[in-house]
Amino acid sequence: MIAPIERTLAGLRQQTALWRKEDETIGVVPTMGALHQGHLSLARAARDKCDRVIVTIFVNPKQFNDPDDLKNYPRTEEEDARKLESIGVDLIYVPEPDQIYPDGFATTVSVSGLTDMLCGESRPGHFDGVATVVSKLFIQTSADYAFFGEKDYQQLQIVRRMALDLDLAVDVVGCPTIREEDGLAMSSRILLLSDRARIHAPVLAEVMEEMREKLQGGASMADILPDATARIMAAGFNDVDYLELRDGGDLSLLDKAKPDARLFAAAWLAGVRLIDNIAV
């Protein structure tokens, strides 16, 4: 059965109050829709852990730097609801914009430090938008658990920091990146790639895998970065925003592998920005 769709905060609260009365745990999976297997794996993880599961779908204007990117972001609500059918989520919350940002909305949640690097550098304000909407979704749903993909690893760390700093009583659960058969990390943005660009997209993950092997063998980033960047560009990518080794906890920059190191990449292919990260 397709889960009920709720579009108002009042309706959401009415429902969660009933669940709370029964002492049921609530898990939330925040999304912007255009659901793929990555999102569905989060919903399954929530289903396994919690009595009640809410998937939220809200294309959050505050986290887009580019108005065209916001306009072109895929919106596929009916299909999304059908995809969630087999998982058995309890509620799909698709708030109207004014249910998240009422008239005169004037508050921003801003996490410092973790947001200054990687995607934060090329997308100013993006993570403020993410932290603001996610804190609101945590409060609105009163979730005990929230599920995020490691594909957006920087986002996951920022959300963890934000929940800790604001004493939000929600346990943030990170779930592994789900990949296409050719290794490309699943993302709603893949839908925006032309057929031709889609063929070249997995090169990013391929190059990162090779870098991982070399780093594990003792190579430094300084040794391997020029060749790795050249390979990505030769595959038809237009630009590499970053290709960096960082600590998986505080995201500080590294030159050599160490426990909990991760390799992070963002690159542009035919007008679409792809990101990925792997543990080294």
Catalytic positions: 39
**Who contacts 181 (Cβ-Cβ below 8 Å, separation ≥6)?**
none
Burial pattern 27-41, b for ≥16 Cβ within 10 A else e, equals bbbbbbbbbbebbbb
DSSP-based three-state secondary structure for 46 = helix
CA atoms within 13 A on the CB side of 113: 9
- CB-nearer residue toward ligand PAF: 19 or 73: 73
Question: At closest approach, how far in Å is the CB of 160 from ligand PAF?
Answer: 12
CB of 62 to ligand PAF, least distance (A): 9
Q: Which residues pair with 174 in a beta bridge?
A: 148
Q: With binding defined as CB under 6 A, does residue 29 bind ligand PAF?
A: no
- Strands 253-254 and 239-247: what pairing? antiparallel
CB of 148 to ligand PAF, least distance (A): 7
Q: Provide the minimum distance between the beta carbon of 32 and ligand PAF in the complex, in angstroms, as a whole number.
A: 4
Instruction: Classify the C-alpha dihedral 248-253-258-261 as positive or negative.
Output: positive
Measure the CA–CA gap between 177 and 163, rounded to whole angstroms. Answer: 22
Q: Which stretch binds ligand PAF (CB under 6 A): 42-50, 129-137, 194-202, 263-271?
A: 129-137
Which lies closer to ligand PAF via its Cβ, residue 77 or residue 210? 77
133 binds ligand PAF (CB under 6 A): yes
- DSSP state letters, 76-114: -HHHHHHHHHTTT-SEEE---HHHHS-TT--------ST
- Does 130 help bind ligand PAF (rule: CB under 6 A)? yes
Answer yes or no: are the C-beta atoms of 220 and 255 closer than 8 Å: yes
**Is residue 134 involved in binding ligand PAF (CB under 6 A)?**
yes
Binding to ligand PAF (CB under 6 A) within 247-266 occurs at: none
Interface pick for ligand PAF out of 60, 140, 154, 277 (rule CB under 6 A): 60
- From 91-99, 130-138, 216-224, 272-280, give the range in contact with ligand PAF by CB under 6 A: 130-138
Half-sphere exposure of 147 (CA within 13 A, CB side): 25
DSSP β-bridge partners for residue 52: 26
Using CB under 6 A as the binding rule, whether residue 32 contacts ligand PAF is answered as: yes
Nearest to 83 by CA among 23, 164, 29: 29
31 vs 141, which CB is nearer to ligand PAF? 31
170 touches ligand PAF (CB under 6 A) = no
Closer to ligand PAF by CB, 156 or 184: give it: 156
Site string for ligand PAF, 136-165 (x = CB under 6 A): ----------------x--x----------
Positions 102 through 121 that interact with ligand PAF (CB under 6 A): none
Residues engaged in binding ligand PAF (CB under 6 A): 30-32, 60, 63, 130, 133-134, 152, 155
